[in-house]
Structure 1
Amino acid sequence: MKARRSAGFSLVELMVSVVIGLLAVLFATRLMTDAERNKAAALGGSDSMQNGMLAMFSISGDAEQAGFGLNDPLIVGCDTVMADSEGFQMAPAARGTAVVRPLAAAVIASGGEGPDRITLYSGSSFSGTGTLRVTSDYIGGNRLDVDRVPYGFARGDVILVAPEKAGERCSLAQISSNPAALAPPPSQQFIAFGGSGFRFNSGALGAQYTGGAARVFNLGPAGSLGFRTWSVEGGFLRLRATDLGGAGAASQAVADNIVSLKAQYGFDTRAGELFQPEDGLRLGAWSNTMIDADGDGVAGNAGDYQRVVALRIAVVARAKNPERADPASGQCKATSTRPTVFATQDAEFTEAEAVQVDVEVEGDPVDWRCYRYRVFETIVPLRNAGWRPTA
């Protein structure tokens, strides 16, 4: 008995101990792996939440201000000539078979399943829609004769010259003279614009205007002119803007891991005399692209832009780090289907126009299915669309 007990463990006992130890290691490894996976998913969700909220907050803030000082019917939708020494360009858009650069609260360049590009315009003049009338024909040069003392206009302000017919060609320039130094009437009142050191249309206006049939609108100081274009490129939300240094020609990154930006116009589609914006606006239809909202047979004219009363905006953000592929199949299972936006119907006379978003980032070596995504949506009423003078 003593000899057997001093011999140590038997082979069977050793094998049982090894098996128990291996099971313990396997259990601990699985526990740690699951914990890391859950941690990565939680952190990824937090990243996408923060980035998406930042992106949506930034864009919706611009959308709420869009159209301020630009809501006169003579301005909305006019094809605008603008030359910026810092490189900002107005968004092109289709008008029938032509391409124009309309000045409106919002211009959406649809990207189909890919990201859209949203351009939002606003002025900053506290004089609202106060105007001057051009009294002499303008065929070139750097001076406009006007009908009264240019009260509220100052050197460096941005002005817009528009014919007294909606939808015609407008021109944007910057005041170079000091209106306050003009001799009082009966001396001729005028505004000089452009020249060295002034950013917008430093030369001529680029269009001609008839005396007595054109007006001059003050959009406010050049430094606070809110012309902004939002886009998504390479997984970044980017911004080009007239009021952001260095962002006129080249866009600047605002938030990372943003893979898509989508937008829809909300139209008031009431026909004929039923459309009375001064008495209140009504949302009748959503559309990913510009439509013939006023029923005149041409999509994208001034009347259609005047009927844009709201914007529907969606931002798709992804987690910062991809998840690992499934060891058995080699495929990622973090996301199986592309996100869908605008799936709900909340306009009076139209069905929802849902869009399945392409979230693949060009040049990313990781499969898009390895990331987790969050969708952020909001509806922004264009309050300035209803605050307009009677046409």
Structure 2
Amino acid sequence: MTTALFPRRRGGFSLVELMVSVVVGMLALLFATRLITNAEVNRNASLGGSDAMQNGMLALFSMQNDAAQAGWGLNDPLVAGCDTVFTDANGYTLAPAPRNGVDITPMSAVIIEDGGANPDRISFYTGSSPAAVGSVKNTQQYTGGSSIRTTSRPPYNFNPGDVLLVAPEPAGADRCALAQVASILPAPNDDTIDFSPGGAYRFNTAAGLGATFQPSQARIYNLGPGSRLAFHSWSVNNGILLLRATDLAGASQQPVSVIDNVVSIKAQYGFDTRVLPSYDPAPDKDGIQVGQWSSTMINADGDADTGGAGDFQRIAAVRLAVVARSKSAEKPDSHGRCSATTAQPQVFTSAAPAGVTAVPVTVNVAVAGDPIDWKCYRYRVFETIVSLRNAEWRP
């Protein structure tokens, strides 16, 4: 009897099983890769959003604090908007503002140098004396020199090192001037304020005040100690928020870096444009309120001057915006294109206060010299409105 022989099955995988295993493994690897990639993208987006939020909020808080403090001693109608002579041995310069097409250097709680779609330069001026009223007048004509004679009594509470602001009366008759008290001359000339130049008096020059004042037609304001005179100018360069300041060591002549990955700052004046028979901004009278937003000076009081002293006195508030970007750029797609951000952000889009027309501004967030496309970053916009606390309270 013949026995049938059957081939013995060898151990291992068949070719079909091997191919199926390879396909399943590749699918699992592809899924895991996508999972890891998506997790990394989400992590970068979250961290980038966190960085932008932290930097943006800190930048806005810093400028908001300056805006809230701005104006001590600068809200008097004789002072607000007055073209001012100012010299600082440490290098700080006043911000220019146009008046009828010509740049002046006015005194104001806030001055905006409009950059259009690019970042603005925003300056806030603050004295430190809560009683910086023009209680002292000159008695003799001043045309130059290192001293000015006041009323027939010693100027009360004027101390060496205090910053003086001399303003003509009536407003607009002459330029204003800033200087620093070097001494009050001894009797019988103790009605004379000396502002001779010296190492301790950075705001004094050998040329004197640099302006002229007629007898009994100038008021002298005390803005407090020079070390606490807070003239601050905020700007942005190459994605870094910068600050020039009179009261920060090393920051007077050249701005110092404050916060990185801030690509733009913008500001708008809030003008009171009401036409009233007898306009009085005192809080117990007409008060002061925003009726129009503008990035530049306007003819808010309806006189013959655009950017005149009356227009500065009509500034009721300032609107601020900060645009911050993520620290890390997201990777482009397979075609080399980024889509983290597809359009330039806009600021000041909402109507605030209610009924006041918004004036939106599109912000250019591209950083000069950055080889990475601006669309590869994520951006956050932060805004606030700050009322100028001294706008209504005027001598």
- Please list the CA deviations of residues 250-269 of structure 1 after superposition, one character each: whole Å capped at 9, or x if unmatched: 00111100001000000111
For 2:267, the equivalent position in structure 1 comes to 263
C-alpha separation in 1, matches of 2:278 and 2:352: 21
Q: 1:189 aligns with which of 188, 191, 201?
A: 191
Q: What pairs with 1:196-345 in structure 2 (closer than 5 Å)?
A: 196-197=198-199, 198-203=201-206, 204-278=208-282, 279=285, 280-327=287-334, 329-345=335-351
C-alpha separation in 1, matches of 2:122 and 2:6: 90
- TM-score, normalised via structure 2 length: 0.94
C-alpha separation in 2, matches of 1:378 and 1:4: 84
The aligned amino acid for 1:112 is G
C-alpha separation in 2, matches of 1:269 and 1:335: 38
Q: 2:50 aligns with which of 43, 46, 52?
A: 46
* Aligned-pair CA distance for 1:195: 1.4
C-alpha separation in 1, matches of 2:18 and 2:219: 98
C-alpha separation in 2, matches of 1:330 and 1:200: 55
Secondary structure of the corresponding residue to residue 359 of structure 1: coil
Secondary structure of the corresponding residue to residue 261 of structure 1: strand
* Aligned-pair CA distance for 1:387: 1.4
Q: 1:387 aligns with which of 381, 384, 393?
A: 393
C-alpha separation in 2, matches of 1:289 and 1:330: 40
Check if 1:150 corresponds to 2:155.
yes
Given that 2:290 and 2:356 are in contact with CA atoms closer than 8 Å, whether structure 1 keeps it comes out as: no
The aligned amino acid for 1:230 is W
Q: 2:384 aligns with which of 371, 378, 381?
A: 378
Check if 1:369 corresponds to 2:375.
yes
- Please list the CA deviations of residues 93-141 of structure 1 after superposition, one character each: whole Å capped at 9, or x if unmatched: 1100321000001110000011111011010013231421000111111
Q: 1:79 aligns with which of 80, 83, 86?
A: 83
Check if 1:56 corresponds to 2:60.
yes
Change (3 A) 1:7 1:188: closer
Larger relative helix fraction:
1
Secondary structure of the corresponding residue to residue 41 of structure 1: helix
C-alpha separation in 2, matches of 1:2 and 1:354: 88
Percent of aligned pairs sharing the same letter: 55
C-alpha separation in 2, matches of 1:288 and 1:347: 16
C-alpha separation in 2, matches of 1:2 and 1:263: 92
- Cα root mean square deviation, aligned: 1.5
C-alpha separation in 1, matches of 2:128 and 2:7: 101
Structure 2 spans left out of the alignment, 5+ residues = none
Q: What pairs with 1:120-135 in structure 2 (closer than 5 Å)?
A: 120-135=124-139
Given that 1:285 and 1:347 are in contact with CA atoms closer than 8 Å, whether structure 2 keeps it comes out as: no
* Aligned-pair CA distance for 1:349: 6.5
| Structure of higher CA gyration radius | 2
Greater mean deviation of Cα atoms: 201-210 or 215-224? 201-210
Change (3 A) 1:384 1:2: farther
Secondary structure of the corresponding residue to residue 339 of structure 2: coil
C-alpha separation in 2, matches of 1:260 and 1:4: 79
C-alpha separation in 2, matches of 1:323 and 1:290: 40
Given that 1:286 and 1:347 are in contact with CA atoms closer than 8 Å, whether structure 2 keeps it comes out as: no
Change (3 A) 1:80 1:8: same
C-alpha separation in 1, matches of 2:56 and 2:47: 14
- Please list the CA deviations of residues 336-358 of structure 1 after superposition, one character each: whole Å capped at 9, or x if unmatched: 00101001112466521101110
